[in-house]
Amino acid sequence: MNTAMLKANFLLGMAGGIQYRALVKASESPRSASAQTLRAILEYTKDSVYGKEHNFDKVLAATSDDELFKLYAENVKPNDYEDLRPYVERHKHGEENILFPGKPVLYATTSGSTAEPKWIPITETYLKTVYGKMTKVWLYNFIQNRKKVFSGKILSIVGKVIEGYAPDGTVFGSVSGVTQRDAPGFVKALYTNPQCVYSIADYNARYYVLMRMGIEQDVTLLVTANPSTIVELQNNVNRFYDEYVEDIEKGTLSAKVQIDPEIRKELEACLKPNPERAAELRALKAKYGNVLPKHYWPNIQILNTWKCGNTRVYLDKFADSFPDTMLHQEFGYFSSECRFGLVMDDTLNTVMFPHYHYYEFVAEEDLDNPNPKFYQIDELVCGKRYCPYVTTFAGLYRYDMHDIIEAGPCFHKTPTVHMIQKVNGIVTITGEKLYEKQFIDAVHEAEKQTGLMTRFFIGFANLEASNYDFYYEFANLDTTQEQAEDFTKHVDENLKKMNVEYLAKRDSLRLKDANTHRLIRESFETFKAQCIAEGARDGQFKLLLLLQDEKRHAKFKKLTID
C-alpha cells in the first residue's frame, strides 16, 4: 500500500466510520429518526417568514411523532418550486430570515417548468452538516467496497463552482463543485486535474483537457453522475488520442484546444514531459488499435455513475470498456434539490438518511388524487412505486421531487429506493428535465418565428439515440421536410433559452439534434380512434404532448408523411 492510500484509508475510515455508525443507528428506528429530523428542521426555521406563516411553533407543540406529522401536513401544503419561488426571490435580493435563518451561502441552478431556472438555496447548515457528513460516508463506503480505491488518482467530473451571482452578490454554481473544492487536502491531492478545468467553456476542449491529464495517470476512481459523460469522454479519446500522447511526451497542452489564456496558464503549470507514459500509450494503440479505459486505466477500482432510470441506455455503450474486476456502482438518487441518500453496495438501492432529511411519499396510483395519502418512510412497501416529497435544512418544505421511485429491500429497518423515471409531463434523457409546457411554448414561439402553423404536435424521448423525435401536423400539408427541419431548429433554440439543463446537455454533446417528422392530416384523431378501439375510454382519454412511451411512439411513427 502506498502512503497516500494508507493516509486516505485511515482518515476516511475514522471520519466516515463515525458518520456511517450514525446512519446505522438512525436506520434502526426510521420513524423516530424522521420525527427528530423534522423537529430539528422546524426548530431551526420557526422564526423565519415561512416558519411564522406556516405555524411551525404550533406544529412543534405536538406531543407525539404521529401528531407532529399530522400537524405539519395540516399547516404546510405540498410545494412545487413555483410555490417557493417568491420566498427565494426575496433571499436573492438580500433579505434574511425568509425561508430559514440568515441567507443562503450558495444557490444551485437547475431547470424548472418556466424559462426562469430554479434557484435552489443552500444553507451553511445543509452544506456543512448534511452534505459534508454524507460525503464522508460516501468516501468511506468506497473503501469498504474496494480497499485499493485510493491507491491511484481520482477523476471526478463536477460542475463549475461559480457560474454567476444573485442580485445580492450570493454565488450560484455547482454543489458538487463546491464539495470537491472543500474536500480534505489529502483527497484533493489525488485529483487528476485542477478545478479550473470545469470553467472551460467549450465542452470539446474541456473533455480534451480532462482526458489529456487523466489518461496520463493511474486512475483508480472515476466519478461522474451521468454515464453519457463517459461516452463523450471516450469519443474524445478516439478522436484525439495521438494528440494526447504528443502532449504527454512534451509536457504541453495543444495550441489547437480553445482555452481561456488564464486557465491555460494554470493548467500548463501542472504539466511536465512524461516520455515514459507516452511510450506506454503508443504501445497500447499499436496492440489494441481502439484503446479503451481497461487498457489505459487497468487498475481502476470503482466507476460511480447513475445506472437507474433513463441513464441505463448509456451503459451498453461502454459495457466492455472497463476491467471486469472494477465495481460499477450506482451513483444514487440525487438531485440539485436534495442529496436523497447513497448506494452502499453493488445494487441499485439508495440508502436514505432519515437523520438528515424528512421524507414523505405518495403512491404512484394516487398521484392524480387531489387529496392523496402521504406515507412515512417506515410505511414504504418493497416493490411499490411512489413520488417522494422532501423537507430539508435548506428551505424546501414538503417539496415535490416529481420523480417516480421504487422501494427496495431495507437497510437495517429503513426501506431503500431507486429511481424509475420523472413523472408524466417531465421527460429526461440525460438529465435535462424537459417540461411539456416548455415544449408547447417552444413550438408556439417557432410558429411566430417561421409563419408555419401546426394543427397538432407531439414529442418523444429517444433514449437509444440520445435525442428527441418531434412530430408536427402542419396546417399546410404542402410544408416540405426542409421547412419542417428548419422549424425544429427554432424549437431547439427556444428550448435552449427556456431550460438551462437542456442548453447544457446540448452544448456538451450529450443530447443530440432532434429528429423531425411530418404528420398526416387528422393524425391526433386517427391516433385517438386507434386507442379507443384497443379499449381506452373516450371520456377519460388524454394525451401529454411530451412523452417517454415507446408504445405510443410506435403509433405515431405510422402516421408520418413519407
> Rounded distance, CA 291 to CA 296, Å?
7
Residue located via cell numbers 414561439: 445
Assign 37 a pLDDT band (cuts: 50, 70, 90).
very high
On whether both 539 and 436 belong to a single domain, the answer is yes
**pLDDT at position 113:** 64
Q: Which among 429, 384, 382, 389 is positioned nearest to 408, based on CA atoms?
A: 382
On whether both 39 and 14 belong to a single domain, the answer is yes
Q: What is the mean pLDDT of the chain?
A: 92
Question: Grid coordinates standing for 55?
Answer: 405555524
**pLDDT at position 336:** 86
**pLDDT at position 95:** 97
On whether both 524 and 460 belong to a single domain, the answer is yes
On whether both 405 and 447 belong to a single domain, the answer is no
**pLDDT at position 34:** 98
Q: Mean pLDDT, to the nearest integer, of 489-504? A: 94
Q: Mean pLDDT, to the nearest integer, of 505-515? A: 93
Residue 505 in domain: yes
- Do residues 423 and 101 make contact, with C-beta atoms less than 8 angstroms apart? no
Q: Which among 338, 353, 160, 406 is positioned nearest to 260, based on CA atoms?
A: 160
Q: Mean pLDDT, to the nearest integer, of 264-290? A: 96
Element (H, E) at 441: helix 436-450
For residue 529, what are the domain limits? 426-557
Residue located via cell numbers 504541453: 252
On whether both 163 and 293 belong to a single domain, the answer is yes
**pLDDT at position 104:** 96
Residue 558 in this model has a pLDDT that exceeds 90: yes
Q: Mean pLDDT, to the nearest integer, of 515-533? A: 88
- Do residues 111 and 117 make contact, with C-beta atoms less than 8 angstroms apart? yes
On whether both 41 and 64 belong to a single domain, the answer is yes
Rg for the chain, CA atoms, rounded: 25
Question: Grid coordinates standing for 538?
Answer: 373516450
> Rounded distance, CA 487 to CA 371, Å?
41
Residue 217 in this model has a pLDDT that exceeds 80: yes
Assign 424 a pLDDT band (cuts: 50, 70, 90).
low
Write the DSSP symbol of residue 195: G
Dihedral sign computed on CA atoms, order 410, 414, 419, 424: positive
Question: Grid coordinates standing for 534?
Answer: 384497443
On whether both 412 and 433 belong to a single domain, the answer is no
Residue 404 in domain: yes
Q: What is the β-pairing status of strands 515-518 and 467-474?
A: parallel
On whether both 77 and 62 belong to a single domain, the answer is yes
Residue 335 in this model has a pLDDT that exceeds 90: no
Per-residue pLDDT of 97-106, as tens digits, reads 999 999 999 9
Higher pLDDT, 309 or 521: 521
**pLDDT at position 538:** 47
Question: Grid coordinates standing for 544?
Answer: 401529454
Residue located via cell numbers 408504445: 551
Per-residue pLDDT of 289-331, as tens digits, reads 999 999 999 999 999 999 987 677 678 889 899 999 999 999 9
On whether both 440 and 418 belong to a single domain, the answer is no
**pLDDT at position 430:** 87
Q: What is the β-pairing status of strands 153-156 and 219-223?
A: parallel
> Rounded distance, CA 219 to CA 211, Å?
11
Least confident residue range of 50-59, 180-189, 333-342, 443-452: 180-189
Q: Which among 429, 430, 444, 454 is positioned nearest to 498, based on CA atoms?
A: 444
Among 356, 390, 422, which residue terminates a domain? 422
> SS3 for 496?
helix
Residue 98 in domain: yes
Count of Cβ atoms closer than 10 Å to residue 411 Cβ = 21
On whether both 86 and 216 belong to a single domain, the answer is no
Where does residue 409 rank: exposed (0-12), middle (13-18), buried (19+ CB within 10 A)? exposed
pTM, full prediction: 0.81
On whether both 355 and 471 belong to a single domain, the answer is no
Assign 1 a pLDDT band (cuts: 50, 70, 90).
low
Assign 15 a pLDDT band (cuts: 50, 70, 90).
confident
Least confident residue range of 175-189, 370-384, 430-444: 175-189
Residue 466 in domain: yes
On whether both 192 and 245 belong to a single domain, the answer is yes
Residue 389 in domain: yes
Residue 318 in domain: no
Q: What angle do CA 475, 479, 482 make, to 5 degrees?
A: 140
**pLDDT at position 540:** 45
Per-residue pLDDT of 69-82, as tens digits, reads 999 999 999 999 99
Write the DSSP symbol of residue 182: T
Indicate the residue type of 380: L
**pLDDT at position 536:** 59
Residue located via cell numbers 463517459: 230
Q: Which among 437, 404, 425, 427 is positioned nearest to 116, based on CA atoms?
A: 437
Strands lying side by side in the sheet with 515-518? 515-518, 467-474, 454-462, 546-547
> SS3 for 289?
coil
**pLDDT at position 279:** 98
Residues pairing with 421 in the sheet: 404
Higher pLDDT, 160 or 105: 105
Per-residue pLDDT of 532-554, as tens digits, reads 788 655 444 567 889 888 889 99
14 CB contacts (<8 Å, ≥6 apart)? Answer: none
Share of the chain above pLDDT 70, in %: 97
Indicate the residue type of 296: Y
Higher pLDDT, 162 or 119: 119
**pLDDT at position 316:** 81
Residue 235 in domain: yes
> SS3 for 297?
coil
Count of Cβ atoms closer than 10 Å to residue 201 Cβ = 12
Residue 378 in domain: yes
Share of the chain above pLDDT 90, in %: 72
Among 422, 456, 472, which residue terminates a domain? 422
Count of domains forming the chain: 3
Least confident residue range of 62-66, 84-88, 180-184: 180-184
Higher pLDDT, 130 or 272: 272
Among 422, 445, 477, which residue terminates a domain? 422
**pLDDT at position 222:** 97
Residue 114 in this model has a pLDDT that exceeds 70: no
Element (H, E) at 4: helix 3-28
